[in-house]
Amino acid sequence: MVVLTAVATIGGLTFLLASLLILANRRLHVEEDLRIDVVEEMLPHANCGACGYPGCRPFAEALVGGSEAPGKCSVSSPEGLEEIAAYLGVAIGEQVRIIARLACAGGSNVARNRAHYVGAQSCVAASLVAGGGKSCAWGCLGYGDCERVCDFDAIHMDSHGLPVVDSALCTGCGDCVDICPKDLFSLHPEDHRLWVACKNLEQGDVVLASCEVACTACERCVLDAPAGLISMRDNLPVIDYNRAHDTRVPIERCPTGAIVWIDDTAGSVRGAASKKIVRHSALPLAPS
């Protein structure tokens, strides 16, 4: 008898709860576009946020909803984008690749340190100790926080402790922009190839005491460039990217190579008149 009661109770409960679940499933059912799952599957699962959405799923929803074009995803390969566009029956849309650019060229062979830094080997930590050991208050500290934070393996420290962005791998997610304590990274369309690789606001030859590739504010680039393209602000050239900027002329007479041309294969190209860098080893500590 006891056994029967138990079985009946449990059985009854099971039946009751099951019917509740069935009811809930019917009443609370959400109609979702099945294509979202498919499109999300086609996206790169990077969840990097470069498209402006919090992750791949919200971007997939926007794609299916028609408010975005697949081209906005900077991580996906061209084939991947074609696949998504074909599946949804839309055009890929304008694809502007956004890439992180570094506004410093001061590796250890050209930029001096004024002090030895001892402590946690991280740029953020070093910058808290009197700005780090670098002579230039604006320059790259070279402990590689950007390399560590990059999810796409697109940043590598070169032999002089300067990060190099691999433009083929960079997705423009902006993680390096956030982490850099000196704010040296910024996101730019790939065609911004004319580039000022210096942030030092000091004027003239004093900057050369701390860095050989710093901008001395000589204004030759301003004179050589098409009128209005480059202007000087706080002792640094500022390029107006709203004008036609597909010219290498401004870099040619730069004495230090602070304004460069960024080439996908050759890296950053310095002008013909810039002082040759022959040194490979790190510079000694600046005299105090």
When binding is defined by CB under 8 A, the residue of 72, 101, 114, 193 that contacts other proteins is 114
Q: Are 214 and 281 in contact (CB under 8 A)?
A: no
DSSP E strands, the chain: 98-102, 155-157, 163-165, 185-189, 194-196, 230-233, 236-239, 259-263, 267-269
Return d(Cα 248, Cα 109) in angstroms, integer: 25
Tokens (6 digits) for 46: 């990077």
Contact map string, positions 151 to 190, toward other proteins, x by CB under 8 A: ---------------------------xx-x---------
Of 281, 184, 200, 280, residue with least CA distance to 236:
200
Q: How far is the CB of 74 from other proteins (least distance, A)?
A: 21
Nearest 5°: phi and psi at 102? -105, 125
Stretch that binds other proteins, among 84-92, 96-104, 131-139, 222-230 (CB under 8 A): 131-139
Contacts of the segment 157-165: beta carbons below 8 A, 24+ positions apart = 158/107, 159/280, 160/107, 160/108, 160/109, 160/110, 160/282, 161/107, 161/108, 161/282, 162/102, 162/104, 162/105, 162/106, 162/107, 162/108, 163/102, 164/267, 165/99, 165/100, 165/101, 165/102
When binding is defined by CB under 8 A, the residue of 36, 38, 115, 157 that contacts other proteins is 115
Q: How far is the CB of 138 from other proteins (least distance, A)?
A: 8
Judged by beta carbon, residue 130 or residue 223, the one nearer other proteins is 130
Binding of other proteins by 122 (CB under 8 A): yes
When binding is defined by CB under 8 A, the residue of 70, 106, 107, 132 that contacts other proteins is 132
Binding of other proteins by 125 (CB under 8 A): yes
Judged by beta carbon, residue 86 or residue 130, the one nearer other proteins is 130
Q: How far is the CB of 220 from other proteins (least distance, A)?
A: 23
Contact map string, positions 203 to 232, toward other proteins, x by CB under 8 A: ------------------------------
Of 188, 178, 185, residue with least CA distance to 162:
185
Judged by beta carbon, residue 101 or residue 112, the one nearer other proteins is 112
Stretch that binds other proteins, among 18-26, 47-55, 127-135, 190-198 (CB under 8 A): 127-135
Stretch that binds other proteins, among 79-87, 99-107, 122-130, 165-173 (CB under 8 A): 122-130
Judged by beta carbon, residue 71 or residue 106, the one nearer other proteins is 106
Stretch that binds other proteins, among 15-23, 118-126, 150-158, 165-173 (CB under 8 A): 118-126
Binding of other proteins by 137 (CB under 8 A): yes
Handedness of CA 134, 137, 138, 144 (dihedral sign): positive
Q: Percent helix, strand and coil across the chain, each rounded to 5?
A: 30, 15, 55
Binding of other proteins by 124 (CB under 8 A): yes
CA 117 to chain centre: 27
- SS3 state of residue 189: strand
Residues that bind other proteins in the complex, under the rule CB under 8 A: 114-115, 117-120, 122, 124-125, 127-134, 137-138, 149, 178-179, 181, 201-202, 288
